[in-house]
Every structure is written in structure tokens, then in C-alpha cells.
Amino acid sequence: MDKKLQGYIDKLNKLNFKEMYNGDFFLTWEKTDDELEAVFTVAEALRYMRENNISTKVFESGLGISLFRDNSTRTRFSFASACNLLGLEVQDLDETKSQIAHGETVRETANMISFMADVIGIRDDMYIGKGNKYMHEVVDSVTQGNKDGVLEQKPTLVNLQCDIDHPTQCMADMLHIINTFGGVENLKGKKVAMTWAYSPSYGKPLSVPQGVVGLMTRFGMDVVLAHPEGYDIMPEVEEVAKKNAAENGGSFTKTNSMAEAFKDADIVYPKSWAPFAAMEKRTDLYAEGDQAGIDALEKELLAQNAEHKDWCCTEELMSTTKDGKALYLHCLPADINGVSCKDGEVEASVFDRYRDPLYKEASYKPYIIAAMILLAKQKDITGTLEALADKATPRHFGE
């Protein structure tokens, strides 16, 4: 057995993640520390095996269903890559092609598409109070379907972004941080600035800032959430962050000053999002079908937004971070000054300097997703990894 791979297996053997088997992945704060570490470890093992041309195909057949309520290139390709790496074929449930909008209940559709599905990936982040709830409905439906003998297997759900959390993104971000700082053990006391930034566009989801403060407060870091007045995130997620900080020896604080957040920060994550209260209002307006109300709200939010063009990740601000070299993070695509818009979230020279690390950050996502799937589907994951390493079927034959 290869030493590095053995290391991952040894680490897994010390963790308790048996509750993940046959489970689902909704929110990072519903998982134990051991479970999160298992995801990171399996993700690293899968990456290592692929880099060493060892096939990790555990499924000879089976479908990975993707359901996107919002357009997406990155997440779509990450999910497709993860499924493909394990041997699952992606089948999109395209709501324009399907009859889902025509009065079908969630329960029925969830079962009808799952006869041969091993995983369902859902992105549903548009309406506060809806996305996560919808995912639970789907999981409840297929769990019941499996119990009733309708489905031979219960597909595992991977939350590809909901109204509350964006776990595959934040876990990829976090694995990038861990590798950049040389291990979890080096993160205690590091300062993370999750800050709002200006973007000319309207209504970006809250799931990234919420996911970040909900996850990064678990590693003993000092997490600062910064935004202009009125741009609050969901209060229940702030509670999660506070509790995490209290339990893990770091801190969770808030400020209305971007400069204060950046000061001496080791990691910065400047990104636009919409105010929680406004998004809640929008959700209600949609439910009422009040288009005039929606248009008025959009106008109001854009005006409010425009007052905060100074919330930009500039070279000047970057120079105030730890040694002027904080790790800059973004879920991409970023709104870059003079590139994708006139005024945006970040100055072009800052973004350019971090382009490679940003792409590496993104490159973890397919492995994080694949790890979440494997941990839910393999009863004996270390046995599986050992067997795959023994077989050593080349992913690319002849190379």
C-alpha cells in the first residue's frame, strides 16, 4: 500500500462517521467534527488516487440526478465530475423539459426519478425559507420510497446550495485553507474576514457568507462578519457561529467596517450578498405573485447597494492584512473592477495575483462532492479505498 494513501486510511480509522452511511448532506453544522474531517480526508484520498491514475469507480451503473433551480456552470460541472469519477451517469432533471411544474407533487417526482438513482444533487438557493425545506421534502420522499420497497436504494442527497448553506463550496474553501496553512493544527487564532462587497447585480444568495461563518468558526479561528448596516444574514446562522466559536476556542464578531475586518486578517472573503430581510420580503412577494412589488424592491435594493461602492477589496485594504498577504478567497465568479463591471467586489490587480490559488480553491469541489457521496454510500469506506488501491485499475489506460 502506498504510504500517502495509507495515511488517509489510518486517519479515517480514527474517526467516527458511521452515522453518515445512508445519510445525506444538508448543512455543515448538522455534522460532527469527525464527520467533516472524514469528508476532507476522503476528498484528499480520491484526489491522490486520481492523480496517480487509480480508478475510483465504485459503480458499474447508476444515475446521479441533478436538479438546478438556478443557472450554474461551476457547480453543474463539479457535480458531473464527482459522479463520473465514481461511475455514476448524470441525468439532469430539467424543469423546462419535465412536468414537475405541472402540478406534480414533490414526493411523486422524487420517487419517479430515483428508481436507479444513487445520488441527487440539488441547487435551490433563490428563495429564503424554501430551498432547504424542498431538499428535506425530497429526502423524506425517497426515504419513504425505499422503506416501502418502491426504491431499491435510497439515493443520498447532496446540497449543492440552498437558502441557508452552501456546504460543497465552503468545504472546498476550507480544504483550500487547510492545505494553504499546512494543516488544521495551524489554524487556531487565525483571523478570517467574511465581508460584504459591492456588486452592481441584485440579490446574490446568502448561502456563502452563512456557510462560511457556520463552518469556519469550528476551527478555533477568529471569524469576523462585516457588512454595511442592513445587510444582515439569517439570525439563526449567527447563533450557530456564536455557539461554534464558544465551543472551539475562537471567536465570532460583527462589524460594519470593512477596514476593521481586514485589519491583520489572515484570510479575507469579500463578496456581495443581499440583505436577509429583503430576501425574505422578496420570497413573500413572489408567493403573492406581486410583480410590481418585486420590481419596487429591486429598485430600492439597487439604490441601497449603490451607496456602498466603497466596499471593495482594494490593494490598499489588502496591504492592511497580516503581512499584506492575507489569503484572498472567492466562490467565483467575482465582480472585478474594470473587468466584469465598472465597480465591483475586488480590484483587478488583487484578483489577478490570487488567480491560481482561487482556481485551486475551486478544484477541491468535485472531490468534496464525491467524498460526500462515498461516505453516504459505502458501508466500509476504508475497505473500499484499500480494495481500489489493490486493484489499481488505471483511470486512463496506457498512460
CB of 331 to a second copy, least distance (A): 11
The C-alpha atoms of residue 126 and residue 259 are separated, in whole angstroms, by 30
Nine cell digits for residue 116: 436507479
Region label for 189, one of left (φ > 0), alpha (ψ between -120 and 50) or beta (otherwise): left
Nearest 5°: the CA angle 340, 343, 344 is 65
Residue 76 engages a second copy in binding (rule: CB under 8 A): yes
Q: Is 356 in the site for a second copy (CB under 8 A)?
A: yes
Tell me which residue of 316, 317, 306 sits closest to 341, measured CA to CA: 306
Minimum distance of a second copy from residue 172's CB (angstroms)? 11
Nearest residue (CB) to a second copy, 63 versus 226: 63
- Give dist(CA 314, CA 343) in Å, integer: 11
Beta-carbon contacts of 9 under 8 Å, excluding residues fewer than 6 positions away, are 1, 45, 382, 385, 386
Complex with a second copy: residue 71 or 183, whichever CB lies closer: 71
Binding region for a second copy (CB under 8 A) out of 34-42, 67-75, 188-196, 274-282: 67-75
Q: Which of residues 103-162 bind a second copy (CB under 8 A)?
A: 103-105, 108-109, 111-113, 115-116, 118, 145, 148-153
Query: Phi and psi dihedrals of 344, rounded to 5?
Result: -145, -155
Residue 288 in the binding site for a second copy (CB under 8 A): no
Can residue 30 be called a binding residue for a second copy (CB under 8 A)?
A: no
Least CB distance from residue 225 to a second copy, whole Å? 26
Least Å from the CB of residue 291 to a second copy = 23
Is-contact 164 237, C-beta < 8 A? yes
Strand partners, 16: none
Q: Does residue 90 bind a second copy (CB under 8 A)?
A: yes
Residue 168 binding a second copy, by CB under 8 A: no
> How near is the Cβ of 79 to a second copy at its closest, in Å?
10
> Which is closer to a second copy, CB of 28 or CB of 114?
114
Scan residues 292-351 and list those touching a second copy (CB under 8 A).
Answer: 332-333, 335, 339-341
Distance of alpha carbon 218 from alpha carbon 211, whole angstroms: 12
